[in-house]
Structure 1
Amino acid sequence: MPTTLITSTQNQFIRQLTQLKDKSRERRKTELFLIEGEREISLAIKGHYEIVTILFFPELFSEEKLSELSTKQISVIEISKEVYQKLAYRDTTEGVLAVAKSKSHSITNLKFNTKNPLILVAEAPEKPGNIGAILRTADAANADAVIIANPKTDLYNPNIIRSSVGCVFTNQIATGSTSEIIDFLKENKINIYCAALQASVNYHTQDFTKPTAMVVGTEATGLSNEWLESSTQNIIIPMQGEIDSMNVSVAAGILIFEAKRQRNFL
C-alpha cells in the first residue's frame, strides 16, 4: 500500500511536520495539524475531518490496520523508528500518525438539532489538559456544543487532542470573544448560568430544562465581569472543605450532569 518510505529525521517533509507538532503559529498558517493514535484518527474521520497523509511505523502498526484507516485519496508513508520517535508526542507508542486539515470554529457555524440546547462555555482556559477534560465531559453528557471564549491555545494542540482522547473531533466546538459569545447566546434566547462566588445561588435550585449555557472560568481568576453582568443567574457549587474552588473540568461536569438529570438524561 505505501508508495513512499522516509527514514531520515532531516527530511524536509518531516521537518515541516515537526513544526506542526510544536508550533501553534505553523498550524494556523498551514491550516494543518498532526493526529497521533488509531482511535484519535478514527474519531477525526468520524468527525468529517479531511485526512491528507497517514504515516506509520510497520513494527508497531500493521498494514492490515492501516487499510482500515486509509483510502485511495489519502497519501500513505512508511517511516522509520527514528522518524516516528521524532514526530510522536506520547510516551506510549501506537505507530501511526496522520496529517489533517483544520476546520473553522467560528461561532456563526454552530447549528443545533434541538430547540432546547445544552451548551458548555469555558472562558480563557489556559491548560490544554483542562480543555481536553472539558471536551470529554461534554462528550459524556452529549452536550450540544462546547464554546471556548478568549482561547489561549489552538484546539489542535497535541496535548488537547491527547487529553480529549479524540473528543475534540466529535464535539461541536466554537471559539470567539466573550462579547461575541454573549451576543450569540442572547440572540438565540439561551439562558446563561455563570459559575461564580458573587451574587450566586446553589446550582441545583435552578431550572436547566430550558435552553442553557453553563459558563465556567479559570480557577485562578474566575469569570470576567462581562459574563457576570450578562448572567441569567450566577450559580455556585457548595464547598465543604477549606478551599473555595475546584478544577474547572470537575465543576463543569457537576453542572452539566445536573442539567442532564433534570432533563431525565434524554
Structure 2
Amino acid sequence: MNKEITSTQNTLVKQLVQLKDKSRERKKSGLFLIEGQREISLALKGGYKLETILFYPDLISEEEIDYLIGNEIKLIEISKEVYQKLAYRDTTEGVLAVAKTKNQDINDLVFTNNTPLILVAEAPEKPGNIGAILRTADAANVDAVIIANPKTDLYNPNIVRSSVGCVFTNQVATGTTSEIITFLKSKNINLYCAALQASLEYTTQDYTKSSAIVVGTEATGLSDEWIENSTQNIIIPMQGEIDSMNVSVAAGILIFEAIRQRQS
C-alpha cells in the first residue's frame, strides 16, 4: 500500500516546497524536484537517481508511473491540494519526483570525441535563457555545456521547465571563468569568444578542431579575461539597428555553424 498525503501542512510537503523555492535548500540537501513525465523520463535516461515519486491519481495512474520509471521507487499518492502546492506549472501530468543532484565539477567532464565541441555561457542570469541554451545544446548534441560564474543553480525549477528536461540530457559543468579557461587550455581547446572588439565574422573560423563557443550576457558581454585568452573573437553581423541579440539565439547560430562545418 502506498503512503498517502492529503494535507499541505504535512512535514514532507513543507520540505518539498522549500526544495522547489530555495536554491540553498537544494544545495544543502543535494535533492531537487522534477515535474512532468517527459522531464522525469529524461532524468532517468541521463542517469539521475530518483528517491521518491509523488502522484495525483486523478491525472496519472500507478500503472502509468510503473511504465514511466520501470523500477522500484517509493510512491506517494497526493491530493489535488498537495499537488497544486508542489507543482510549478498549471498543466502537467500529475507526477513529481524527488531526485538527487549531480556534481557539476568541471574536472569531471569526459569527452569521448577527440575534437569536442563545447558551449560556454558566462554569467547567464535568466533561467529562461539558460533553459534555451540547454535546448540548443541538446539539439546540436554538443559534447558539454559549461556555465561560468553561474547566477543560479541548475536545478532551479524554471531552468528544468524551460530546458524541457535538456538540463538532464547534456553533460553540464560549472565553474569560475578562470577555472574554465585553465581547464579548456589544458585540453588544447580553441576559444571562440562572441565579442564586438577585434572580431572576425563567425563564418570565417574553423570549428572542426576542438572548439569552445563562448557567449556572454546581452547587457555586459564577456569579461576581459575571456577576451584576453580568446583564440579568436567572433561576431554575428547585425543587419538592423541593434548590435546584439538574445544570448540563446546567438549561441544557436554559432553552434550550428560549427555543426555545419563538421558535417560538410
Could you report, residue by residue, the CA deviation over 1:223-251 in whole angstroms, capped at 9, with x for unpaired residues?
00000000000000000101000000000
Residues 209 and 262 in structure 1, CA contact (< 8 A), matched pair in contact too: yes
The offset of 1:97, in angstroms, is 0.2
- Structure-1 residue corresponding to 2:250: 251
- Structure-1 residue corresponding to 2:114: 115
Structure-to-structure mapping, 1:55-204, within 5 angstroms: 55-70=54-69, 73-204=72-203
TM-score (norm 2): 0.99
- Structure-2 residue corresponding to 1:237: 236
Residues 54 and 70 in structure 1, CA contact (< 8 A), matched pair in contact too: no
- Structure-2 residue corresponding to 1:15: 14
**Secondary structure class of the residue paired with 1:263:** helix
Superposition RMSD in Å? 0.9
Could you report, residue by residue, the CA deviation over 1:34-90 in whole angstroms, capped at 9, with x for unpaired residues?
000000000000011000000000101112211113455411000000000000001
Moved segments of 4+, more than 2 Å: 69-73
> In the aligned structure 2, how far is the partner of 1:70 from the partner of 1:10?
28
TM-score (norm 1): 0.98
Greater mean alpha carbon deviation, residues 256-265 or residues 103-112: 256-265
The offset of 1:94, in angstroms, is 1.1
> In the aligned structure 1, how far is the partner of 2:193 from the partner of 2:113?
22
- Structure-1 residue corresponding to 2:215: 216
> In the aligned structure 2, how far is the partner of 1:90 from the partner of 1:8?
20
Greater mean alpha carbon deviation, residues 70-79 or residues 152-161: 70-79
- For the pair 1:206 / 2:205, whether they are aligned, the reply is yes
Return the letter of the residue paired with 2:14.
R
Return the letter of the residue paired with 1:54.
I
Could you report, residue by residue, the CA deviation over 1:6-28 in whole angstroms, capped at 9, with x for unpaired residues?
00000000000000000000000
**Secondary structure class of the residue paired with 1:180:** helix
Consecutive unaligned residues of structure 2, counting only runs of 5 or more, are: none
> In the aligned structure 1, how far is the partner of 2:262 from the partner of 2:31?
39
The offset of 1:92, in angstroms, is 1.2
> In the aligned structure 1, how far is the partner of 2:2 from the partner of 2:119?
44
Residues 9 and 82 in structure 1, CA contact (< 8 A), matched pair in contact too: yes
> In the aligned structure 2, how far is the partner of 1:61 from the partner of 1:14?
19
- Structure-2 residue corresponding to 1:30: 29
Return the letter of the residue paired with 1:74.
I
**Secondary structure class of the residue paired with 1:258:** helix
Structure-to-structure mapping, 1:43-54, within 5 angstroms: 43-54=42-53
Number of equivalences: 264
> In the aligned structure 1, how far is the partner of 2:206 from the partner of 2:61?
52
> In the aligned structure 2, how far is the partner of 1:91 from the partner of 1:217?
32
Return the letter of the residue paired with 2:183.
F
Return the letter of the residue paired with 1:228.
I
Return the letter of the residue paired with 1:144.
D
**TM-aligned CA distance change 1:196 to 1:57, over 3 Å:** same
> In the aligned structure 2, how far is the partner of 1:70 from the partner of 1:141?
27
**Secondary structure class of the residue paired with 2:263:** coil
**Secondary structure class of the residue paired with 1:58:** coil
> In the aligned structure 2, how far is the partner of 1:72 from the partner of 1:11?
26
**TM-aligned CA distance change 1:37 to 1:118, over 3 Å:** same
